[in-house]
């Protein structure tokens, strides 16, 4: 009996080893051309919308491919420190970047000396999602639409100010584009983050604010602030009754934040194609799309060419706005 049990145990052990070996082979096959653990650099502090989205995507990418995908927050200088680190990384797929419109358009356009070239120093992989911004007012401001706000600002030029999460942020530029396209005058009041700005908007210290919809949603729903419109070209599923600024009489207006993955320049094409394919598959999953929608993000999942076109379009759009606002460092 002892011998039979030993044989059965040996057989089970051998079968287990075979399964483990096969699983290891499958994981290596799924991991494709990348042979090392992957660090996804998030160029902002932990806890923000980019960080949350990154962790959702990293976890699922790791599960799908068998790769170890770790998120590392490398904040500072509006995202340029983390982005610069990836630009200088070894192009082997082990270090990739979760970028935004700030890292790949706004900051490079405003910098006196670019810390990196947003086009030449990176390999585009995939545009994962767009995140709408929203135009808000304190409920005591006597307007309920974009056109009413424009009329008020033109009737009393210079009287009203708008808040954002800081100088040179996508939200600041959303306000500057609004001024350029409507001809209104508003003073910009920069804050050190969206939280303090929202506190002052609710308290009435500042009457108008541009914010990321994912951060403002709760305050809009509980009536602490009034949302006039979203900044994207089309309406947002989480607030279907909220119009866009474009449909509210400013037809050329469109701004949003986005999240996209880049590698360093000279990343081999097989690695680019592998990462792009796997990331597109992650974003296409219903459960992931639902989680992103809960964050008021709009899932995209583009190929590398689509992301390259996005960067080119953003650079062309924001260059004249930054010049008009006097934001270019001298």
27 within a domain of the structure (yes/no): no
CATH number, domain containing residue 318: 3.40.190.150
47 and 75 in contact (C-beta within 8 Å)? no
Which two tokens mark 126? 């995939």
CA 183 vs CA 154, 191, 288: distances in Å: 8, 24, 41
63 with 146, same domain: the answer is: no
**Sequence-distant (≥ 6) Cβ neighbours of residue 79 within 8 angstroms:** 43, 44, 99, 100, 102, 103, 107
pLDDT at 167: 86
49 and 214 in contact (C-beta within 8 Å)? yes
pLDDT band of residue 288 (cuts 50, 70, 90) is very high
pLDDT at 297 over 80: yes
pLDDT at 82: 95
pLDDT at 25 over 60: no
pLDDT at 160: 97
pTM of the predicted structure, to 2 decimals: 0.82
124 with 264, same domain: the answer is: yes
136 with 223, same domain: the answer is: yes
Across 227-251, average pLDDT: 95
CATH number, domain containing residue 220: 3.40.190.10
Across 166-195, average pLDDT: 92
**Sequence-distant (≥ 6) Cβ neighbours of residue 36 within 8 angstroms:** 92, 93, 94
204 with 60, same domain: the answer is: no
Across 264-278, average pLDDT: 98
222 within a domain of the structure (yes/no): yes
Domain limits for position 49: 33-131+257-324
196 and 202 in contact (C-beta within 8 Å)? no
φ, ψ for residue 72, nearest 5 deg: -125, 120
268 with 124, same domain: the answer is: yes
Name the average pLDDT for the chain. 90
What's the pLDDT tens digit per position in 60-79? 999 999 999 999 999 888 88
Tokens 């040996």 correspond to what residue? 10
104 within a domain of the structure (yes/no): yes
pLDDT band of residue 96 (cuts 50, 70, 90) is very high
304 with 278, same domain: the answer is: yes
Q: How far apart are the first and last CA of the chain?
A: 87
Tokens 């309406």 correspond to what residue? 235
127 with 272, same domain: the answer is: yes
128 and 279 in contact (C-beta within 8 Å)? yes
139 within a domain of the structure (yes/no): yes
pLDDT at 31: 57
236 within a domain of the structure (yes/no): no
204 and 178 in contact (C-beta within 8 Å)? no
10 within a domain of the structure (yes/no): no
Across 8-33, average pLDDT: 47
Across 141-167, average pLDDT: 96
pLDDT band of residue 330 (cuts 50, 70, 90) is low
125 with 272, same domain: the answer is: yes
* DSSP run (H or E) holding 212: strand 208-212
What's the pLDDT tens digit per position in 307-326? 999 999 999 999 999 998 88
Domains: count for the chain: 2
């Amino acid at each position: 009996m002892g011998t039979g049990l030993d044989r059965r145990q040996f057989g089970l052990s051998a079968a287990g080893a075979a399964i483990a070996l096969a699983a290891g082979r499958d994981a290596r096959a799924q991991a494709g051309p990348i042979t090392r653990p992957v660090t996804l650099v998030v160029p902002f502090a932990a806890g923000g919308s980019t960080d949350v989205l990154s962790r959702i995507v990293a976890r699922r990418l790791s599960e799908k491919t068998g790769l170890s995908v770790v998120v590392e927050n490398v904040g500072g200088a509006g995202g340029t420190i983390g982005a610069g680190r990836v630009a200088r990384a070894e192009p082997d797929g082990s270090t990739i970047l979760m970028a935004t419109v700030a890292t790949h358009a706004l900051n490079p356009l405003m910098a006196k000396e670019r810390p990196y070239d947003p086009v030449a120093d990176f390999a585009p992989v995939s545009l994962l999602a767009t995140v709408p911004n929203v135009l808000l007012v304190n409920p005591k401001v006597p307007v309920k639409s974009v056109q009413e706000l424009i009329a008020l600002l033109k009737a009393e030029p210079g009287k009203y100010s708008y808040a954002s999460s800081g100088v040179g942020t996508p939200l600041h530029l959303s306000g500057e584009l609004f001024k350029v396209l409507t001809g209104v005058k508003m003073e910009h009041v920069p804050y050190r983050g969206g939280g303090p700005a929202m506190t002052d908007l609710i308290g009435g210290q500042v009457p108008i604010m541009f914010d990321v919809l994912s951060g403002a949603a709760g305050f809009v729903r509980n009536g602490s602030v009034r949302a006039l419109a979203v900044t994207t070209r089309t309406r947002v599923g989480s607030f279907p009754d909220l119009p866009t600024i474009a449909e509210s009489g400013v037809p050329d207006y469109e701004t949003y934040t986005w999240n996209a993955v880049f590698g360093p320049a000279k990343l081999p094409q097989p690695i680019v194609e592998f990462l792009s394919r796997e990331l597109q598959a992650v974003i296409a999953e219903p459960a992931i799309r639902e989680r992103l929608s809960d964050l008021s993000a709009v899932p995209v999942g583009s190929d590398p060419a689509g992301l390259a076109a996005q960067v080119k379009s953003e650079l062309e759009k924001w260059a004249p706005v930054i010049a008009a606002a006097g934001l270019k460092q001298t």
